Structure formats: C-alpha cells, structure tokens
Amino acid sequence: MNFQIARFGSRLFGTGLDKIRNIGIIAHIDAGKTTTTERMLYYSGSISKLGDVDQGDTVTDYLETERNRGITIQSAAVTIPWNKYKINLIDTPGHSDFTFEVIRSLRVLDGVVTILDAVAGVEAQTEKVWKQAKDMNIPSIVYINKMDRDGANFNMTVRQIVSKLATRVVLCNIPYFVNDLKTQSHRFVGVVDIFEGTLLKYHENDDGNDVQVIPLNELSEFKDSEQVNQDVMKLREAAIETLGEFDDRIVDSYLETEDYMKVPTYILHEALAKATISQDVVPIFCGSSFKNIGVQPLMDGVSLYLPNPGEAQKPSVYSPVASVPVKIDPKSGCLINNNKNLCVAFAFKVITHPTRGLLTFVRVYSGILKSNSKVINTQTGDKFNIGKLMVMHGDKPHDVDQLGVGNIGVISINVENKRISTGDTLVCHTLKKSADGLHKNEKRLKLLPIEVPPPMFSVSLQPMTAGDRRGLDQSLNTLLMEDPSLHVHVDEDSGQTILSGMGELHLDIATTRLRDDLGARMEIGKVMINYKETILKPTTPVAKSIEDSAFKKGHFEITLSLDSFQGKPEDTGLIRKDSEGAVLLNDNNLVIFEQDCEPDFILERVKRVSRGDQDWDLPMTMENIQNTILSSIAASLQVGGPVAGLSMHSMIVRVHKWEIPQDFDKISSLVTLIRQAISTSIGQLSEKQTTLMEPIMDVAVHVGDSDLGTVSQDLSTARAAQVHSIDDELDSTSSEKLYWAKDLAENIPLPQDPADLASGRHSSPISGRKVVKAITPLREMMGYLPKLKSLTRGHGSYDMVYSGMQRVSPERLKVILDE
C-alpha cells in the first residue's frame, strides 16, 4: 500500500504558521544529506525520479562543481509538502571550510535533522556542527542512516549520541532485520515504530513508496516476533519514563492504567515535541536513504517534533538608532518593533540557478512580503522593486503574490545596479507596497547580523586575454553575492585580481566555480596565506592642504596621525560608549575623529540645524562626507604597507582636523589629500618600526592515548604551537557533563541488535581519545593533515578556527619574507 495513503490520506499544502517547518540537515560529509533530501522530495511527490549523488543527478547538488565532486557546497533550499505540512529544507555543506556557510544557514532555521552514518557513528565534524546548533538553541532530531551497510551498528551509534553529544534521547523507531540463512547474514528491511507498535516493512529493491504496515500482534508469522515485541515494550516504557517529566498527563494516564502500552500515543508525541523544542531530549530515527527505507517516518518526525516559526526562538534584531523590541506569538509569529505593518525579510542565500539566473532566498521574519513591493535593503540603503516573488515547489520556483510571516521564498530581481547579497535585510510597509511610512529605526534595522571571519588565503587571477577581463569581473560579482566570505581586490602594483577566502578548499572550489560554472577564462595562481602589515610606533601628525581653483571660499585640508594596537578594539579602551568619534573599519583598523575636527562652518550648521534654525542646505549630508573620509582612509590603508605592499591591520588613524571650502559641491580633493597624508605618515617610519601580521589559529587535535606524546611534541617543536590543554575527548566543557552522559550511555535501554550479537561485545562509546588544544600560526598548519595522519597511522584528526592576527617577531619576519 502507498505509505502516505496508508497513514495520512492525501497530501495537502498547509498554509498556517503551525504547518511550516524551516529546517536544515547537518551532518559529517558523506553521511547522506543529499541522498536523504532527494528521497524526501520524491516521497512528497515533488520529483518523479530518484536522483543519485553517485550518478550526479540530484536536485540539491545542482552545480557542476558539486555534482563532479559529489559533495554539497552551496546550501540550496527546497520546499517539501508533507501531510499538510510545508517543510522548507536547507541542505547545508559539510566541510569545515564552509563552517561559515553552515552557521549562516543555521540562523534561519527553526530546527535541524542531524544525519549520522550507522557505521561511523558520531564523527568529529558532527560534534562541531552539533555544538554550533546547540549554542544557537536550535532543536534537533537525529537520523541514523546507512543501516543497510555492513558494520552498521545502531546501538553503538545511539550510545555515542548520548555520550558524545551529551543529550537524552527517545528512540522513535528501531531497525528491523531479516536473517538470510544462506549467507548467514542479516538484511535491513524496515523499521519498528515504538509509539504505534507497528512494523513498517519495505519491499526490497523498490522505491520505498510501497510499505507494509504490520501491527505487532500480527507479527507471529515472523520468526523473531517475540523479541521485537519485547523491544517495543521496553523502549516504550523508557520513552514514557523520560517524557513523564515533561507532561503530567503521561504520569496521570500511567497511574490510571498501570500499563505502558496504554498511555495515549498523541500525548507522547506532544510531550516529545515539547521536550525536543526545549532541547532536553533528542528523538532518534533510523533508516537507509539509499535503499529507500525509513525516510517517511523521519519526515513525520520533522512535522511532529520540530518547532514551527511560532514556537521557534526570537531572531536577533539590531538597529543603529535605537533598540528594537521583538515578540513571538504562537499564532501570529514574530512581531518586530510592535509594528504590524512592518515587513522584515532576511536574505540568507543567493544562488545562480541554471535556468533562472540569480535567485535570492529570503525568510520573512515579520509581516507580509508582497510581489512588486518596493523594499529597502538596509545593508546598502538601496531602494528597489523586488518584482516577482516565488516559492519553491520541490526545487522549482512558482510565482506567488505574497509571502507570509515565517515563510521562505525566492526573489529574482533584475534591476540594474541593485543587488541583494547573502546576509542583507529587506524592509517594507506591508500595506503600502513600499517603505514609506516606516520609522527611521525600522529603515535601518538589521536581522541576525553575522560576523564574517576575515579571509585567510588568497589566490591571484589573471584574465587569459584583455578581452576576458569583463567576463571575469562579472563572474566574480556573482560569486561574491552568493558567498560573502569571499573577497576580491586588485593589487595596485601588479594589477592582478586577488580572490581571498576561508581555506584552501574554499578557494579551490571558488575558482573551479568561476571557470566551469560561470565561464571565466583566467590563469589561477598559487594559494597563499593572507599576511597583513602594521606599524610599531606612533607617527607625528601630518598636515596636507590644497587650494582647489574650482572653489572660491576656503580650501581642502587634512591633519592626521597613525598608531596601532594589539587585540580587539573593545579591549583597548579606545572605543568607549561616550567616544562617539571612533569607527571600526575592515582589517581591525580604527578611525578616531578628534573633538571638533570638523570645519567651523559645518559645526555651526550642525548646531543651527539641531536647534531648528536652519535647513541642511549643503550638497552632501554630514553622514555622506564622513563616509567619504572613512572610505578614503580604508582604501589608503589597503594600498599596502612598506614591508611587502600588503594592506595595513590593527591601525589607529586619528583625524585631528579636516577642512573643505564652504562652496564645495564635491570633495574629491580631500580624498587625494587623505591618501597622501597616510602615505607620508608611514614614510616617517624606519624598517624596524613596521612588521607583518599573521593569522593565528585555535587548533584542536584528536588523537588516541598512544599518539599523544608524538603529536604534542610535533606541535610545540615543529609548528611553533603553544599547547594549552590536553583533555579527554568527551570532556569538552565540564567533567560533570561527561559523567552523567557516560553513565546514561552505558545504561540506556536498547533493542537487541545483530551488530552487538555479531561482535559479542557491548561496544563502549568511551574511546580513550584525547584532544590537544593549542594556538599556532596558520603558516605552520599548512599541509598538517598528511603529517598528522602519518604520525598517528591514520587515526588522528584535527580542526581549527581563526583566532586573530598577531604581530610577527623579527626572526619569523625574515623567514616569511625569504619565502
């Protein structure tokens, strides 16, 4: 019988807030995210043919690069209708170079499905992403995939989930195997639903739509029915004991009947949803997406246990003008600034669709977004018409008139020079189809501002011929809109275009995309680390001035001096709440406008305008002028320092005084003066008073006990690392957590598992592995993976995150420059 019809009747597209699920899939690479997504689309009826990552024809991995490598790089969003629910699913990349991409996706999600490989269990990358989701308070359900593989071990994986992810669990279904007498092996053919007490038996080598739903009391024809019945009773009892804490009705009902099987299933579902959303419990499902087994129950799990937008946590909202109140209401969703007419949407992804061109995925956080609305992009200040609005049906965009609160949809704008990049916020008035009538606060608010880490690697790109320049620039433009963790600049000296990114793989994939998907014709240089420069001594103020014959009243002038600092600007005491004049630029550079540095006629004007005596009648606003000054300072610092022509970092630029003529209508002369003043200032310094800055990484190396010595030794001697801790792998934060999780994992009720019988052991999740944590320059970590593998006979693994830039000592400086 068809699975959906057997259990749910026909498929309907729900519209209410409570029917929306915005979820993501997180997992270690290769755990089966793409395969599972593909199956979900198929069972929902959104696609009629099953794609296969190994054949390269899946829906979500549609970029050439992704299909060739069989990995997901860009997260794509697809909408999956399922049993009156609308599941908006975002497939996230698994590799650590794309962590930023994962974090960004996580921020628009209300819940996640964590996919594990039943053979590998909980892997390092899973733990990392799990922690990120946990830190963002995003609830999860777990899907143990690949139950069909040799060596699949359900019980071991469950124990690892408990001990390594330190969480309580409820098993929603367990694997069902049949024994093959000929080969003396067992085959995974279905799942047993613990709540319903039914076996869902799948036809082998079928598309999985045809499922036999067998109540356990009719199981007698099967050999091991007794065992299955016992397992179900044991696990239902365990679930009820766990969930009793979250819903009094469970305890009441049990006390009444004293029978675990008689506690109403719907109450269990509701209690599990509550406990999942509060992140106290994780529901566990199992299956084999590749063999088409167990995916529909997982989809039920998504709709039953993960939160809808009205149950999800509040988005963080930032406005430079004033703080903005945010409320979440279970019925009407999120309300920002108490304004029902305020529509706020967040662009979480820009992709290049093979036939539709640039598509921007947005999540509407409050209000209603309508097609043809005039919106403000609060990041750029641009106002434009968004034109068509679409939602994904499966992976195909369909036009809609409007997108309500909590929904995810797609904008395709074709307005010249107007763009939406990933991470931008759009606002408009729900009734007026424009932003007119919105408050000043509302026109500048930003949703979920996300800190993009600085790029650490660069590669040079050279168009093949002069004629290829335009094509390269256009492709780079597209790539940058998609991925704000990529940066592009032109090296002044060589004229080369430099592309920078988060890691070697990141750049490798970006350049492949440029060449193969976007058709750029170029030569690609060698991947290099991004060093920066800084100064070691403050300079004395330099004044530059010029008379511009175009203006009669006054002249252009700038007086500034340079200094530098170490660490974060907020730790220096330079940015205080009251010191309004400090502005942080890229590269940790700080600009400080000294008191009354503005021209007298502008100071006068500001005073009179604020008293209401006069209008602002100058050709540029004060904000425009200051922004021009800031951007010229930023550009001048990027031009490159004296050591190796690299951009300057952690600098302080003090603006002591600036002048412009009273009859100015442009200030380009000031821009030139700023550049000259900065270059003269740097020129004051001797060679010894300048140095390079290099990226420093927080490194965590995972090794077995026996390799601990060699690995730590190598880190501190050969890699200039400062090792600051060596801990038990499980004990990442507190040992208290470790003990309860360890204890719980050892004692958790589990079904009989052929994998346990086969190995005749009760496999322990406690691995005896250690984590070495250290701080070390990125340069010393290049090519570390093969070295670590050889030191540990393949057993070691590591990950690292950017910690900051650090001044290079004179000895290291020489080594780096010689390179």
94 binds ligand GDP per the rule CB under 6 A: yes
Asked whether the beta carbons of 649 and 685 are under 8 A apart, the reply is no
148 binds ligand GDP per the rule CB under 6 A: yes
Return the one option of ligand GDP, Mg ion, none that residue 149 interacts with (CB less than 5 to 8 A, by type).
ligand GDP
34 binds ligand GDP per the rule CB under 6 A: yes
**Region near ligand GDP per CB under 6 A, out of 27-35, 173-181, 194-202, 374-382:** 27-35
C-beta of 290 vs 384, nearer to ligand GDP: 290
C-beta of 4 vs 34, nearer to Mg ion: 34
Quote the CA–CA distance of 394 and 767 in Å, as a whole number. 41
32 annotated binding-site participant: yes
Quote the CA–CA distance of 789 and 98 in Å, as a whole number. 22
Contacts of Mg ion in 63-92 (CB under 5 A): 72
Asked whether the beta carbons of 777 and 722 are under 8 A apart, the reply is no
Return the one option of ligand GDP, Mg ion, none that residue 347 interacts with (CB less than 5 to 8 A, by type).
none
Report in angstroms how near the CB of residue 154 gets to ligand GDP at its nearest. Answer: 13
C-beta of 81 vs 93, nearer to ligand GDP: 93
Residue type, 466: A
Report in angstroms how near the CB of residue 303 gets to ligand GDP at its nearest. Answer: 22
Report in angstroms how near the CB of residue 30 gets to Mg ion at its nearest. Answer: 8
Select from 35, 83, 339, 589 the one that contacts ligand GDP (CB under 6 A): 35
Asked whether the beta carbons of 529 and 500 are under 8 A apart, the reply is no
Quote the CA–CA distance of 89 and 209 in Å, as a whole number. 21
Can you tell me which residue has the tokens 């949407």?
345
Quote the CA–CA distance of 221 and 191 in Å, as a whole number. 17
C-beta of 126 vs 650, nearer to ligand GDP: 126
Q: Which two tokens stand for residue 743?
A: 């204890």
Number of residues engaging ligand GDP in binding (CB under 6 A): 22
C-beta of 18 vs 508, nearer to Mg ion: 508
Report in angstroms how near the CB of residue 514 gets to ligand GDP at its nearest. Answer: 23
Q: Is 592 helix (H, G, I), strand (E, B) or coil?
A: strand
**What's the DSSP call for residue 631?**
H
34 annotated binding-site participant: yes
Quote the CA–CA distance of 156 and 767 in Å, as a whole number. 12
C-beta of 126 vs 155, nearer to Mg ion: 126
95 annotated binding-site participant: yes
Asked whether the beta carbons of 324 and 317 are under 8 A apart, the reply is yes
Return the C-alpha torsion angle 671, 672, 678, 680, nearest 10. Answer: -160
Asked whether the beta carbons of 575 and 584 are under 8 A apart, the reply is yes
Contacts of ligand GDP in 68-87 (CB under 6 A): 70-72
C-beta of 66 vs 694, nearer to Mg ion: 66
Report in angstroms how near the CB of residue 119 gets to ligand GDP at its nearest. Answer: 9
Pair type for strands 281-286 and 211-215: unpaired
Q: Which two tokens stand for residue 744?
A: 């719980």
190 annotated binding-site participant: no
**Region near Mg ion per CB under 5 A, out of 26-34, 258-266, 408-416, 610-618:** 26-34
Return the one option of Mg ion, ligand GDP, none that residue 153 interacts with (CB less than 5 to 8 A, by type).
none
Closest-CA residue to 697 (of 567, 802, 566, 809): 802
Quote the CA–CA distance of 425 and 103 in Å, as a whole number. 17
What separation in angstroms does the CA of 761 have from each of 31, 156, 178, 206? Answer: 25, 10, 21, 34
C-beta of 94 vs 297, nearer to ligand GDP: 94
C-beta of 40 vs 800, nearer to ligand GDP: 40
Contact partners, residue 58, CB within 8 Å, separation at least 6: 34, 35, 37, 38, 51, 52, 67
33 annotated binding-site participant: yes
Asked whether the beta carbons of 91 and 74 are under 8 A apart, the reply is no
For the chain, report the end-to-end CA distance as a whole number of angstroms.
68
Quote the CA–CA distance of 228 and 754 in Å, as a whole number. 12
Contacts of ligand GDP in 285-304 (CB under 6 A): 288-291
234 annotated binding-site participant: no
53 binds ligand GDP per the rule CB under 6 A: yes
Select from 27, 174, 413, 748 the one that contacts ligand GDP (CB under 6 A): 27
273 annotated binding-site participant: no
**Region near ligand GDP per CB under 6 A, out of 140-148, 155-163, 175-183, 390-398:** 140-148
User: Which residues are at the interface with ligand GDP (CB under 6 A)?
Assistant: 27, 29-35, 53-54, 70-72, 94, 145-146, 148-149, 288-291
Binding region for GTP: 27-34, 91-95, 145-148
User: Which residues are at the interface with Mg ion (CB under 5 A)?
Assistant: 33-34, 72
